[in-house]
Amino acid sequence: MQDCKPSPTLMEAQCHFDDPSSPILADPSSYRILVGRLVYFTVTRPDLSFAVNCLSQHIHEPRQENLDAALHIVRYLKGTPLHGISLSSNSNLVLNGYSDSDWASCPVTRQSTTGYITLLGSSPLSWKTKKQLTVSCSSAKAEY
């Protein structure tokens, strides 16, 4: 992967990992190790949180498309080595919080994914992405 071409995007749009024609990995341990390392990266890279959350949902039975998506994130990391957490002395130190959810994003369970980030100026303080435990009947319910 040292000589790989960097990717400008974190993941492909509408990536749901539900292709039954994608073969199941014969040895899932390499995928699990890679996803574990990507989870570690999310400690200082909040931009990875949603994508790594999607990959970790397939840790029990990963397919080739999951491994390809994980390697795509590695190529993204190669192209963005200067991204991360930094506290700028030039930014206005105002506390802001943002949250969002996607309604029924999982095509199998119809569960929604929720995420939030809290910023001090332009620097992230806390963030999280999590699949909701219950199925929301509308997009309004998924937001709350």
Q: Walk along the chain (144 residues) and give the pLDDT tens digit of each residue.
A: 778 899 999 988 766 677 888 999 999 999 999 999 999 999 999 999 989 998 998 999 999 999 999 999 999 999 999 888 887 777 688 999 999 988 777 777 788 888 999 998 888 999 998 888 888 777 666 666
Report the C-alpha gap between 54 and 129 in whole angstroms: 10
pLDDT at 113: 85
pLDDT at 144: 61
User: Cα-Cα-Cα-Cα dihedral of 85, 90, 92, 94, to 10°?
Assistant: 20
| 116 strand-pairing partners | 99, 128
pLDDT at 143: 63
pLDDT at 88: 75
9 touches 47 (CB < 8 A): no
CA distances from 64 to 33, 40, 48, 71, 79 (A): 15, 22, 20, 11, 23
Tell me whether residue 14 is exposed, middle or buried, using C-beta atoms within 10 angstroms of its C-beta: 0 to 12, 13 to 18, 19 or more: exposed
What are the residues whose beta carbons fall under 8 Å from the beta carbon of 25, sequence distance 6 or more?
A: 31, 62, 63, 64, 66, 67
pLDDT at 70: 96
Angle, vertex CA 113, rays to CA 112 and CA 119, nearest 5: 145
pLDDT at 127: 92
